[in-house]
Amino acid sequence: MTKKTILDVSVENKRVLVRCDFNVPLDDAGEITDDLRIRAAVPTIQYLLEHGAAVILCSHLGRPKGKIVESLRLDPVAARLSEQLGVTVKKVNEVVGEAAAAAALSMRPGDVLLLENTRFEPGDEKNDPDLSRKLAALADLYVNDAFGAAHRAHASTAGVAAFLPAVSGLLMGREIEVLGKALEAPERPLVVILGGAKISDKIGVIENLLTKADRILIGGGMANTFFAARGYEMGDSLVEQDAISTAADLLARAGSILVLPEDVVLADAFSAQANAKVSLPDKVEPGWRILDIGPKTAELYERLIAGAGTVIWNGPMGVFELEPFAKGTFAVARALAASHAMTIVGGGDSAAAVQESGVADSIGHISTGGGASLEFLEGIELPGVAVLEDK
């Protein structure tokens, strides 16, 4: 998949509308607690500014559901972005309208304008052509740099491309390049590590990767449903009863590609203060639940990662937010950091895990999109990518 990026087009003296992912976490006081997504957008914005563009930024924040929610205005983003860029980011209190149009028209090369939260407009999530047209009227070129929202067919992520030339930003381009190569032409062996609570979230991913991966290592709560499919008693462990037959089918078709934990860590309560013990997965007693992979499994996964040419990781190995049950997840994070393979970490909890374990700088690529990277791995065409011009 080769899409045009900002490197392939002229941006000089153009007003460029950039869809970013500024959906950052805020505390109760409205302060940004993690500005990773803002920092990730800076290279694209700086490139555009250095090449003579006026830059109009837009993004969603939270889930206001088409209504104005004061606590979800983008003013904190404008302030933090001004610090990051070293230039004043002007903010308008609307997405489209007279004020936004006037601000855009008055821009000169080097100016940066931030529109209000796109989801204050009910037409954004509905991919309303009228909103798309009004957004497009602000600019000469559309750039999508919001991989984290690329799996949504919204006005600001896809619809606007019907009215403007559309290319990817540097962040989006990197995501497409890295994930695309990992699926289509990976250095082998290709080892995929899948965790998280539910198998139902990743059935499509497993289906697609069974034909591409050399090994798929399973952890987290989703492993319990596979164990249940083998007929093991799971005690109080999380099991998706309606996915057991699907898990059995995947096991039957996967052969040696699908690797389940050899041992697990049990707890007698969902608590950091619970009693815990290592057990075989078929020895879970009533009142106990699986909350992490065990030490033998961690060693096995570390060996498979060490021998890989490409590693993709999406989803934690256990309840890593509870310290006694974080060992498996952090062991995988450290194994990726020590690997000579191309290492790719999906968004969300896996990205948080590599940050918390202090190895983020040693990972080849940390995706900014949890849901988007999952759908990409599933082989689904992402609306926000599909609308971009091909090279």
The token pair that represents 347 in the structure block: 């968004």
**Which residue in 198, 212, 307, 309 is the catalytic one?**
198
Residue closest to 385 by CA, chosen among 34, 82, 148: 148
- Determine phi and psi for 383, rounding to 5 degrees: -55, -40
Task: Count other C-beta atoms under 10 Å from residue 231's C-beta.
Answer: 9
Which residue among 348, 369, 370, 384 is the active-site one? 348
Cβ-proximal residues to 116 (8 Å cutoff; 6+ apart), any chain: 73, 74, 91, 92, 93, 94, 95
Cα separation, 16 vs 142, in Å, equals 6
Residue 309, both tokens? 């040419």
Which tokens in the block code for residue 82?
């001004």
Question: Is 198 a known active-site residue?
Answer: yes
Residue in 146, 151, 202 with CA at minimum distance from that of residue 372: 151
CA 153, 139, 179, 224 torsion-angle sign: negative
Q: Among residues 37, 73, 80, 334, which one is catalytic? A: 37
Give the residues across from 258 on adjacent strands.
216
Is 371 marked active-site?
Answer: yes
Euclidean distance between the first and the last CA atom of the chain, given in angstroms as a whole number:
9
27 SS3 class: coil
**Residues with a known catalytic role:** 37, 198, 348, 371
